Amino acid sequence: MTLPMIAVPTDKRDFDGYTWHAAPHQYLEAAMSVSGVMPVLVPAFGDRLDIDALLDRVDGVMITGSKSNVHPTLYGQEATEANGPYDPDRDATSLPLIRRAIERGIPLLAICRGIQEMNVAMGGSLATEIQERDGSMDHRAPESEDPDHRFAIRQAVTIKPGSCLADLFGDGEIQINSLHRQAVDRLGERLQVEAVAPDNTVEAVSVRDAKAFAVGVQWHPEYWAASDETSAKLFRAFGDAVRDYASRGMQQAAE
* Beta pairing class for 155-159 and 172-176: antiparallel
Spans of the chain below 50 pLDDT: 254-255
**What are the start-end ranges of the E strands in 197-253?**
202-207, 214-217
* Residues 206, 190 contacting (CB under 8 angstroms): no
Query: Taken in order 145, 157, 137, 178, is the CA torsion positive or negative?
Result: positive
> What homologous superfamily does CATH list for 5-254?
Class I glutamine amidotransferase (GATase) domain (3.40.50.880)
> How far apart are the C-alpha atoms of 245 and 213, rounded to whole Å?
10
- What was the pLDDT predicted at 84? 87
Q: Which residues make Cβ contacts (< 8 Å) with residue 132, sequence separation at least 6?
A: none
Strand order in the sheet with 202-207: 38-42, 5-9, 60-63, 108-111, 214-217, 202-207, 191-196, 155-159, 172-176
What element of type H or E holds 225?
A: none
Amino acid found at 162 = G
Q: Which residues make Cβ contacts (< 8 Å) with residue 28, sequence separation at least 6?
A: 8, 39
- What was the pLDDT predicted at 255? 42
What element of type H or E holds 41?
A: strand 38-42
How is the chain split into domains, by residue range? 5-254
- What was the pLDDT predicted at 247? 92
SS3 content of the chain, % helix, strand, coil (to 5): 35, 25, 40
- What was the pLDDT predicted at 140? 83
Which residues are catalytically annotated? 112, 220, 222
- What was the pLDDT predicted at 233? 98
* Residues 13, 217 contacting (CB under 8 angstroms): no
> How far apart are the C-alpha atoms of 147 and 4, rounded to whole Å?
30
- What was the pLDDT predicted at 81? 81
